[in-house]
Structure 1
Amino acid sequence: MSAPERPVPPEPADDPFGGSSAARGGPAADPLDRLGALGSSWKWVLGSSLATLVFGILMLVWPDKTLHLVAVLIGLYLLVAGVFRFVAAFAGSHEAGERAAGLLAAVVYVVAGVLCLRGPQLTITVLALVIGMVWLASGMLGAYAAVANRALPHRGLAFALALLGIVAGIVVLCLPIESAVALTRLLGLWLILLGLAEAAAAFALRSALRH
């Protein structure tokens, strides 16, 4: 008498994105959770700092500092920064108010970037006003998020970075800027400073996650 055949367990269904769902944590994987994991990564923060440094260096070394070029560089920087801040808004276990502040900062960056790209006829004063208001608003929102979220592993550094953005916004708004060359030099120096501060925050986050 032969032994009864054992039922063969069904193989996990293939995912439309490739691979089985079990291999990637099951069907409960949430796109918001994936955004949160990406935004919580120190590599994502480091990527944001590198992007800021690249635009800062471009503004300093580009030989043809015309008003149209300044508007395009500022617009591209604001769009890229908005994308990074949008993803970062979903990082960690943010409360609704903190996440709303992060998303609002991302929207401010994107809208300002679109305005700069669609309005090459903007004057130096308007461009300085746009970038100054963006840095000031995002810095205030970042400071609020750092104060409200006590679970941040690099809370003090995040607050200092927000204060640096506030100071940058005030400086750009208050200084009389009369030429594209002066504006690009000022913005280039501030972007490099902000990029270095973001890089320090990224490595501080890496250290905190390892411990």
Structure 2
Amino acid sequence: MTTSPGPAPSAGPEPMAGGAPSAPDPADQLARLGRSWTWIMGAAVATLVPGILALVWPDVTLHVLAVLIGLYLLVIGVFRFVAVFAREEAGERLPGLLLAVLCVLGGVLCLRNPLQTIAALSLIVGAVWLVSGIFSLYTAVATRNLPHRGAVMAVGILGIVAGIVVLALPSESAQALTRLLGLWLVLLGAAEAAVALSWRSTLRRAGVKGSRDETGTAAP
């Protein structure tokens, strides 16, 4: 899951006193990318794709499922790491950074031992979803002037429920676990897509580069 970016800043590099533009700051570039609605949509697609694959391919082996989930967690970890820089206050970045590390760690554990038990795989995914949901819900409640608070709150609640369900209802077979994880991935991905579209609408109303997002990519 992807947390919501902060208010849309002005686009373009800040000029120096002498009139020449300053050198691009990597952190600023990551912040601009993390605030882009297309980046949030990319995280949604990264969640939807493995969910759809799991639903249309329910007879996948536990080995393949572990690899699929491991890659998903690694990719989501990268999206969350970039989204951390979208937070304007440095103190707000630590929870997101810890969550990105948790996602990457979970992905590494899945890929390092793909022949692990169903219970271990459920524990890893359930714990990541639960912590991620709590963080998203906290962001929605604590962040002031959040333009799409309801959508972010829905993503957080959905993540918490998904984590609890996976942890509390251990599957007895790889097929049952595949269907369960596939269903939750599709639901989470759809909710994140709604957040991305809401953020796109907010950027357009704010007049950020007219009809362009924060990275300068023309919106379709």
TM over 0.5: yes
* 1:13-32 matches, cutoff 5 A: 26-32=21-27
1:148 has 2:148 as partner? no
How far 1:27 sits from its partner (Å)? 2.8
Contact preservation (8 Å) 1:98, 1:149: no
Within the candidate set 162, 172, 178, 2:166 is matched to 172
Q: Tell me which amino acid in the other structure corresponds to 1:77.
A: Y
Counterpart of 1:135 (choices 114, 129, 154) is: 129
* C-alpha deviation, 1:144, in angstroms: 1.9
In the alignment, is the contact (CA less than 8 A) between 1:98 and 1:145 conserved in 2? no
Q: Quick one: distance in 1 between partners of 2:164 and 2:106?
A: 17
Alignment counterpart, residue 67 of structure 1, candidates 62, 66, 74 = 62
Residue 50 (1) aligns with residue 68 (2): no
Residue deviations 1:7-42, cap 9 Å, x none? xxxxxxxxxxxxxxx8xx823421111101000010
Could you say which residue in structure 2 is the equivalent of 1:7? none
Size of the aligned set, in residue pairs, is 188
Unmatched tracts of structure 1, length 5 or more: 1-21
Q: CA contact under 8 A between 1:49 and 1:196: conserved in structure 2?
A: yes
Query: Which stretch has the larger CA shift, 143-152 or 119-128?
Result: 143-152
1:80 aligned to 71, 75, 79, which one? 75
The higher-RCO structure (CA 8 Å, 6+ apart) is 2
**1:119 corresponding residue in structure 2:** 113
Q: TM-score, normalised by structure 1?
A: 0.84
Q: List per-residue Cα deviations over 1:62-111 (Å, max 9, x = no partner).
A: 26511111110010010011111111111142x23321111111111000
Partner of 1:18: none
| Structure 2 letter corresponding to 1:181 | Q
Code of the residue aligned with 2:57 in structure 1: it is W
CA displacement 1:123-172 (0-9 Å, x = unmatched)? 00110011000100111122222222213221221122111101100010
- Following the alignment from structure 1 to structure 2, what is the Cα–Cα distance between the partners of residues 29 and 158? 30
Distance in 2 between residues matched to 1:36 and 1:113, nearest whole Å: 24
Per the alignment, in what secondary structure is the counterpart of residue 24 of structure 2?
coil
Partner amino acid for 1:70?
Answer: L
CA RMSD, 1 decimal: 1.7
- Identity over aligned residues, as a percent? 65
Greater CA radius of gyration, 1 or 2?
1
Asked whether 1:102 is paired with 2:96, we answer yes
Q: Is the 8 A contact 2:122 2:170 kept in 1?
A: no
* Distance across 1 between alignment mates of 2:57 and 2:154: 30
Separation in structure 2 between the aligned mates of residue 64 and residue 136 of structure 1, nearest angstrom: 26
Q: Residue type matched to 1:156 in 2?
A: G
